[in-house]
Amino acid sequence: MSKNRTKESLIREISNIVVHEIVAKHTNKPESMHYLKSEIIEYRNRVEKTVEMYNWNSTDLAHIEKKSLILIKDKLANKYSDVKYSEHGIISKLGEIIKEIL
């Protein structure tokens, strides 16, 4: 897989981590917690494996963060419209995950 395709894959996976963490934090369904936590672990494992394939410079990281933020907002608005969240919370969670993994 080329670096650009890998980058797009990382964007999707990182977005899914953030979305699932936000939904897990704000869900009213306790029965969903186990599933959400499992998905977070799976996405995180995929990202950690994928990240080792290339060296990521600051331009790559900025692109990943920018595109991930757009995708996160889109997923939350379309798929989880009942979940209330703050944009600051999304940005800080995204920054935290990118810092941890990349």
For helices 3-26 and 33-51, the axis angle rounded to 10 degrees is 160
Confidence of residue 32 (pLDDT cuts 50, 70, 90): confident
Number of folded domains that form the chain = 1
- CA-to-CA distance for 88 and 25, rounded, in angstroms? 15
pTM higher than 0.85:
yes
35: nearest Cα among 16, 20, 46: 20
Range of the structural domain that residue 60 is part of:
3-101
User: Would you say residue 62 has pLDDT above 90?
Assistant: yes
CA–CA dist 21, 1 (Å, integer): 28
Q: How confident is the model at residue 64 (pLDDT cuts 50, 70, 90)?
A: very high
